[in-house]
Amino acid sequence: MNRTFGLSEFLFIVAAVRWTLLLSLVAFVGGGVLGLLIAILRTMSSRFVRLLTSGYIQLFQGTPVLMQLFLFYYGLSVLFDMQVDAWPAVALAFTLYSGAFLGEIWRGSIQAIPRTQWEASACLSLGYFQQLRFVILPQAMRISIPPTVGFLVQLIKGTSIAAIIGFVELTRAGQLMVNVTFKPMIIYPIVAALYFLVCWPLSLLARNLERRIDADLGIKRHL
């Protein structure tokens, strides 16, 4: 006997949005810290450091997220010789995945700042980290807003893959409700709409932010 799709089923799905958001937030913040570190290390000159960081990036960009999830999920279990919760595995996997992509996005943004900005600030006697902090990163940030938000939106939608190893986020919650009510054509549109409601404002926010910064810089641009 199938359950009917009612308010409590709907609320179960809506409530699962928080796990999607939390996973995305952890991955984005953790990956952001990691990515910034990677981006800065990649612009430095040590060959060993560049090799190491580029190896990490190639590894995580060149393999499917699903494989990374499997490897972390089963890998952690093997490592600790016990059944591991899905949460630490997905959090770790998505953090490292984000770090690789954000690292590349931000490295590109840093390197897009003209060499002359480095020179001008060096000639004011600023040290390397002072140059980054006051001159380079603020400008790189402006450039990186669109690709960063683009990646964040991809990440939020991408966390649905965590459903496969049983982590109950938005997609998994939808699946569970489909299993008991068998109303896929009601439930999946709702799930999709919820993703949209999360992602769309982010795109708007990004565009707004760009406009504000452009106005501060005295740039008029048509979007």
Partner 1 sequence: MPILALNGICKRFRAHVALDDVSLAIEPGEVVAIIGRSGSGKTTLLRCINGLEVPDSGEIVFDGRRVERSRAGLQALRREIGIVFQSFNLFPHLTVERNITLGPTVARGLPLAQAKERAREVLRQVDLEDKIAAVPLQLSGGQQQRVAIARSLAMQPRLMLFDEITSALDPELVGEVINVLEKLATDGMTMILVTHEMGFARVAADTVVFMHQGKIWEKGPPSRLFTAPATAELATFIDAILPVGAGVMHTIR
Query: Residue 75, exposed/middle/buried by CB under 10 A (0-12, 13-18, 19+)?
Result: middle
The residue range among 1-9, 43-51, 59-67, 111-119 that interacts with partner 1, by the rule CB under 8 A, is 111-119
Asked if residue 203 binds partner 1 (CB under 8 A), the reply is no
Residue number, 84 or 213, with CB nearest to partner 1: 213
Min dist. Cβ of residue 203 to partner 1 (A): 23
Asked if residue 182 binds partner 1 (CB under 8 A), the reply is no
Q: Is the dihedral of CA 78, 84, 88, 91 positive or negative?
A: positive
Residue number, 24 or 121, with CB nearest to partner 1: 121
- C-alpha 119/C-alpha 123 separation (Å) is 6
CB 192 within 8 A of CB 184: no
When binding is defined by CB under 8 A, the residue of 134, 182, 196, 200 that contacts partner 1 is 134
- C-alpha 22/C-alpha 143 separation (Å) is 26
Q: What DSSP designation does 4 have?
A: P
When binding is defined by CB under 8 A, the residue of 80, 218, 221, 222 that contacts partner 1 is 218
Min dist. Cβ of residue 8 to partner 1 (A): 51
Asked if residue 109 binds partner 1 (CB under 8 A), the reply is no
Distances (CA, A) of 217 to 29, 106, 109, 195, 213: 27, 20, 17, 34, 6
* Backbone dihedral region for residue 221 (phi beyond 0: left; psi -120 to 50: alpha; all else: beta): beta
Asked if residue 164 binds partner 1 (CB under 8 A), the reply is no
Asked if residue 200 binds partner 1 (CB under 8 A), the reply is no
Min dist. Cβ of residue 103 to partner 1 (A): 23
- Interface residues with partner 1 (CB under 8 A) are 116-117, 119-128, 130, 134-135, 138-139, 142, 216-219
